[in-house]
Structure 1
């Protein structure tokens, strides 16, 4: 193959140049002749040929990249911990890993959990329901499932409450996957009559919400 007979693409790709470089080299041409024909620096020509001689290819080789700071086993440990207790903080996970290896930054832990679909989310606050409450609500829903629209238009919903938030602060987060916001382990339960300072009563109907009334003192039948 002669350099003078070589057709070089007007806008050749990197791989095309490397293959052409190799073909010319195999035809017995010097680095200088190849450099002139392909308009490539002589150092580039030499590097392409060296790669072919060492690896048997001129294509880009896979890069090893930076070694991961968290091993697959440690990743499984992190996932197990937050699955068992979604309120576990990244600092607590960091301390857990530090007991078996060098310290890993908490941001690295958050990124690794995120790659596994676990993201820190503000937990929803829902009324703590006993098994009896759950059973009663489900029974009511089934009983009235097929009631006509006028039944609901003439229904008034009322409730009074004094709410105390218990457990950790409201600024906490939970590790959870998408569409799991209302799973029991991912919510902050609230409880009635737990020592709050204000009792309120409210109502709503199909037409909209009613007025919220503040109750002073004990809520009895006369006040109700």
Structure 2
């Protein structure tokens, strides 16, 4: 079972107590955090110099536009990728046709003539 992520404030308090010379067990008891979690936060801080690291993977490119694209394709299943691409170019956010195609595939829209969509 995966537990919840600790807040940045709590992680910073753990590091602050560690820097003041407090032991892992005392930090764990005072902040009600498991000792292994305290140890892993401190090790990560010593290795990277920060308690917040960027997440893995690329950022989603069409997070704001995906729903609009899906609506457009459901309304007009025979629309081409270049026609879908033009509104994003006008808004100043050009996207490749492959990016749009991938976004539609993730929304379970495949092929031009047989586009089946599940309502979201």
Computed over aligned residues only, the root mean square deviation of the Cα atoms, in angstroms, reads: 3.2
Partners of 1:175 and 1:91 in 2: how far apart?
19
Q: Per the alignment, do residues 93 and 49 of structure 1 end up closer, same or farther by CA in structure 2, a change over 3 Å counting?
A: closer
Tell whether 2:116 aligns with 1:177: yes
Tell me by how many angstroms 1:69 deviates: 1.8
Q: 2:46 aligns with which of 50, 68, 77?
A: 50
Query: 2:70–2:104: 8 Å Cα contact kept in structure 1?
Result: yes
Task: Provide structure 1 residue ranges, at least 5 long, that are not aligned to the other structure.
Answer: 1-25, 28-46, 121-172, 179-224
Report which of the two has the higher share of helix.
2
Q: Deviations over 1:166-218 (max 9, x none)?
A: xxxxxxx336127xxxxxxxxxxxxxxxxxxxxxxxxxxxxxxxxxxxxxxxx
Q: How far off its partner does 1:96 sit?
A: 2.0
Number of matched pairs: 78
2:30 matches 1:91 = no
1:174–1:68 distance in 2 versus 1, CA, 3 Å: same
Unaligned runs of 5+ in 2: 1-22, 25-42
Q: 1:26-58, CA deviations, whole angstroms, 9 ceiling, x for partnerless residues?
A: 69xxxxxxxxxxxxxxxxxxx7561597439xx
Q: Give per-residue Cα distances to partners, 1:131-172, cap 9 Å, x unaligned.
A: xxxxxxxxxxxxxxxxxxxxxxxxxxxxxxxxxxxxxxxxxx
Query: How many angstroms does 1:98 deviate by?
Result: 1.1
Is contact 2:44–2:51 with CA below 8 Å preserved after alignment?
no
Q: Which of residues 29, 42, 59 in structure 2 aligns to 1:67?
A: 59
* TM alignment of 1:1-224, pairs within 5 A: 48=44, 50-51=46-47, 54-55=50-51, 63-72=55-64, 74-120=65-111, 173-174=112-113, 176-177=115-116
Change (3 A) 1:66 1:97: same
Q: Which has the larger radius of gyration?
A: 1
